[in-house]
Amino acid sequence: MELKTVLYEKKDNVAWITMNRPDVLNAQNAQLRNDMLAALDEARLDDEVYIIVLGGAGRAFSAGADISEWPKMFPMDTLKDFYGNRRFYELMRAIPKPIIAMVNGYALGGGCEAVMACDIVIASEKAKFGQPEVKIGIIPGGGGTQILPRLIGEKRAKELVMTGDFITAQEAWQMGLVNKVVPPEKLLEATQEMVAKLKTQSPVTLKFCKLAVNKSLQLPLDEGLKAEQDIFALCFSTEDQKEGAKAFLEKRTPKYKGK
Ligand code: COA
């Protein structure tokens, strides 16, 4: 795998993926989107990777789509371009492994949409979130008008999308877009703590957790509850379910195999 704009490091069953165009605040051009697809696919297919952490190099998580590509763009170009964009977020939602966003700074436009596609979000107090597309004559194109209202509610989403205003990490936490806000110097440590917590669980059970909760964003309640019932039943086919129950009864820590 040859990556030009993304760093990939695998360590102790965790894939650390870092968007790496710091000079332009990790703006997402076609190269970065392709690199993200390759890096995410590598992590998806690697059985030794249980958890993925997504971050940004420099002072931003990502300031969104690379606007320099846009003055000459026409509708058919955007369809081609955004197909790649959507795939990157869709792949994140589809990968059956937890993805933690480690948000150091700006998460705007496509950067905010990448945050939405992660499962758990740890943010620095310095982070800023927003959908500023309206200010350059467009609407969000990677979930900002569809996923965001489901996460923070219609009115708040409309305010963000219509004003293009940025919100602080604390405000994003209050709205439910962020799980935890920490001082900048504690961002890595807080992320590692979350990684450690998730690593005590069975990777196969985490997969089912993600699949089941993702259904709640896609399905009407009755269908979602049915999907939950099916996934719940599937848990009983795993060795880790037997081990989890046994370990509890024997008052010991479970030894999970991810099977
Ligand atoms: N696309 C392309 N380049 C971008 C970019 C983007 N989305 N966001 C930032 N950059 C570039 C800037 O052009 C600048 O490049 P330069 O040094 O060659 O001039 C560099 O990144 C640093 O950004 P700058 O604007 O100087 O930093 P700042 O701290 O003053 O402002 C932001 C930071 C995030 C507020 C501002 O860069 C911004 O509003 N970016 C656009 C965000 C956006 O609209 N995203 C949605 C796109 S659809």
Report all structural domains of the chain as residue ranges with CATH numbers, in order of start: 6-199 (3.90.226.10), 203-249 (1.10.12.10)
112-121: per-residue pLDDT in tens?
999 999 999 9
Write down the mean pLDDT value for the chain.
95
Quick check: 32 and 61 in contact, CB under 8 A?
no
pLDDT at 28 over 70: yes
127-169: per-residue pLDDT in tens?
999 999 999 999 999 999 999 999 999 999 999 999 999 999 9
Looking at residue 170, its amino acid is: Q
The β-bridge relationship of strands 106-108 and 120-124 is: unpaired
Active-site pick, 9, 42, 133, 154: 133
d(CA 26, CA 211) in angstroms, rounded, equals 29
pTM of the model: 0.96
Taking CA atoms only, the protein residue closest to ligand 1 atom 20 is 24
Identify which of 84, 74, 135 has the alpha carbon closest to the alpha carbon of residue 109: 135
- Count the helices and strands in the chain (H runs, E runs): 10, 10
DSSP state of 220: -
d(CA 100, CA 195) in angstroms, rounded, equals 8
Looking at residue 182, its amino acid is: V
Angle, helices 239-249/203-218, rounded to nearest 10 degrees: 110
Q: How far from 169 is each of 125, 126, 166, CA to CA, in Å?
A: 6, 7, 10
d(CA 183, CA 129) in angstroms, rounded, equals 16
Strands (E), 110-245: 120-124, 128-130, 166-168, 180-182
pLDDT of 168: 98
User: Would you tell me how many other CB atoms lie within 10 Å of the CB of residue 65?
Assistant: 28
Q: For residue 29, report the distance from its CA to the centre of ligand 1, in Å.
A: 13
Q: What are 157's two structure tokens?
A: 């989403």
Please report how many Cα atoms fall inside a 13 Å half-sphere around the Cα of residue 191, on the Cβ side.
26
Q: 72 pLDDT band (50/70/90 cuts)? A: confident
141-152: per-residue pLDDT in tens?
999 999 999 999
| Strand partners for 56 | 19
pLDDT of 78: 76
Q: What is the mean pLDDT of residues 253-259?
A: 94
pLDDT of 73: 83
Told to judge if 133 belongs to the known catalytic residues of this protein, a careful annotator would answer yes
Q: What percent of the chain has pLDDT over 70?
A: 98
The residues, any chain, with a CB within 8 Å of residue 225's CB and separated by 6 or more, are none
Which residues' Cβ are closer than 6 Å to ligand 1? 24-25, 27, 63-68, 106, 108-109, 132-133, 136
Element (H, E) at 41: helix 30-45
pLDDT of 83: 60
Specify the 3-state DSSP secondary structure of 32: helix
Which mutation among 24, 62, 103 tests ligand 1's pocket best, with the greatest number of atoms within 8 A of CB? 24
Q: Which atom of ligand 1 is nearest to the CA of 164?
A: 44
Q: How far from 44 is each of 73, 77, 97, 188, 230, CA to CA, in Å?
A: 32, 29, 8, 23, 23
Q: Which residue has the higher pLDDT, 205 or 84?
A: 205
Quick check: 160 and 172 in contact, CB under 8 A?
no
